Structure 1
């Protein structure tokens, strides 16, 4: 099993980088809606979700907890203008679930924007939202988010779960990048982002216990750090995580001295805003993988 300190330090560095580059999570309010006004909201929702996991697991040091709180406050008050930018996004694309998805972790952390909540309740009642075309994994996530918000999932999670690639346990050697990302997010939704490892159906947990180590080895050798980080999160979501030593050591070596995690092989070059757009996600994933694996490692030590 990997040294817990090594796992923990990956998250320490990642949070330092995220705080230092917090202004990179800016929106583009004047962009033409046809080219993706709401796309810039997704990183903010991911940031909020990972900060929520950090607070939930309770294994962060005081510096990490402080940075996470400052990050989430900055994102809410400055980037989202107290939630008003979410309202604007919902008005721009009334049926889009993105404002709702971004808002939920903020709501769970105690922030509030009544107009977004009213829009979510209204959209939940109309057939167009339920018919919104999405992959099975995305639909599973939307149903899970509705449950967490206090709405009746449309459709029920159990109904969507069985339509996903992972639920069917196909030939494991057919996994490629897009499928692998669907697998990781499927696990995130089924376990409520690692809170409930028992949310994985036993057959799915067994399938992952068998094949996840193989996939981790593959993407470690390919130096695809973003996807490897997500697979390390999946490992920490399993009932019996491996906390693979070779994978974590390789992951930690890839991290830069300032805490940034490259997406693929080495750090990209270019203007700072372009570099941010490439590395913010693997760095967020590094923070997520670190806090969840640290928590599981400490639990295993306590049981030893």
Structure 2
């Protein structure tokens, strides 16, 4: 395992600063008062809120998180839960749009953090039995996202994890030089969902694990060279999700060096805007990724699976 004390310290530093930055700027993740379940612009605030909820839930899940981090993460999750009207908005969206998976996927982050919505629970148990839902045509790594959300919410989708994993680009252990920018993201999300963000590292097939251990360092170096920091950080999450975690101190020094003093982590090598709203819009996702990467790396380097029971929140 490439995991030493410097990794733990640097990963913790990056994650704490990024988490604080998200909390400080959480006001930018606010839905309009008149927003409906149809969400005419889902990427404007709905999607970032869900991503922030993911990051916060991973901190709350981690047995290595300190008291300050837990309080900050709980504050972020409370804010997102309030924006989603304590789950009512997710319920209404799932009710109106049966084949959409984003309400369940978003809800799963809150379940991980200890929140429940009884109506959503009943609705998901119903929709999971529908042939139309099970037969929805999506990319294999997206099927894994739905399967993991179902697993977290306690819904039985009858998932064949081995078959779904093998249907992905990564599952074929293809020629590594053929990877593209988008395929790189597909690879990372395959690992995120199969392992539930490092909670189940042993669920990756051994040959896939071996393939990733060999080629991840190469891919990280390639995208670091062109300053694609968002993808670099996602690939670093993958390394921390392996059964024998791959956490290179040099990669963590690199991420710590490009992080701004206020906690912002740039998504790429382009200049960072001065306008606060644009800064947040441009780099919110990378902050979420940095929180996830640091939180999982700290847990794994300390010998854990990166998962622990989160304290229940208000329902």
What TM-score comes out, normalization by structure 1 length?
A: 0.91
Moved more, 41-50 or 121-130: 41-50
Which residue number corresponds to residue 240 of structure 1?
A: 244
Residue of structure 2 equivalent to 1:129: 133
Instruction: Say if 1:52 and 1:109, in contact at 8 Å, map to a contact too.
Output: yes
Alignment of 1:52 onto 2:71:
no
Deviation, 1:33, is 4.2
Find the aligned partners of 1:299 and 1:105 in 2 and give their Cα distance. 24
Distance in 2 (alpha carbons) for counterparts of 1:205 and 1:251: 24
Tell me the residue number matched to 1:75: 80
Partner in structure 2 of residue 114 of structure 1: 118
**Cα displacement (A) at 1:193:** 0.9
C-alpha distance in structure 1 between counterparts of 2:103 and 2:43, whole Å: 8
**Displacement of 1:71:** 1.0
Partner of 2:156: 152
Shift of 1:84: 1.7
Task: Write out aligned runs for 1:1-304 (5 A).
Answer: 1=3, 3=6, 4-28=8-32, 29-30=34-35, 33=38, 35-37=40-42, 40-77=45-82, 79-269=83-273, 271-299=275-303
CA offset digits 1:162-219 (Å, max 9, x no partner): 1110110111011111111111111111111101111111000000011011001111
Change (3 A) 1:165 1:39: farther
Change (3 A) 1:156 1:63: same
Q: Distance between the aligned counterparts of 2:245 and 2:213, measured in 1? A: 8
User: Which structure shows the bigger proportion of residues in helix conformation?
Assistant: 1
CA RMSD of aligned residues (A): 2.1
> 1:192 aligns to what SS in structure 2?
coil
Cα deviation per residue 1:212-253 (whole Å; 9 max; x = unaligned)? 110011111111111111111111111222311221111111
* Structure 2 CA distance for partners of 1:99 and 1:32, relative to 1, 3 Å: closer
Instruction: Answer whether contact 1:41 1:98 (CA < 8 A) is retained.
Output: no
> Is the partner of 1:299 in helix, strand or coil?
coil
Give the 3 Å change call, closer, same or farther, for CA 172–105 of structure 1 in structure 2.
same
Shift of 1:22: 0.8
Aligned residues: 299
Distance 1:106 1:147 in 2: 13
Residue 153 of structure 1 deviates from its aligned partner by 2.0
Please give the alpha-carbon distance, in whole angstroms, between the structure 2 residues aligned to 1:237 and 1:30: 37
With the length of structure 2 as denominator, give the TM-score of the two structures. 0.88
Unaligned ranges ≥5, structure 2: 305-315
Query: Post-superposition, which runs of at least 4 consecutive aligned residues in structure 1 deviate over 6 A?
Result: none
C-alpha distance in 2 between matches for 1:34 and 1:45: 14
Please give the alpha-carbon distance, in whole angstroms, between the structure 2 residues aligned to 1:131 and 1:271: 44
What secondary structure does 1:125 align onto?
Answer: coil
What's the CA shift for 1:119? 2.1
In 1: Cα distance, 2:199 partner to 2:116 partner: 23
Structure 1 residue 63 displacement after superposition: 1.4
Alpha-carbon shift at residue 31 of structure 1 (Å): 7.7
Q: Kindly tell me: are residues 82 and 267 of structure 1, through their superposed partners in 2, closer, same or farther at Cα, counting changes over 3 Å?
A: farther
Cα distance between partner residues in 1 of 2:287 and 2:241: 19
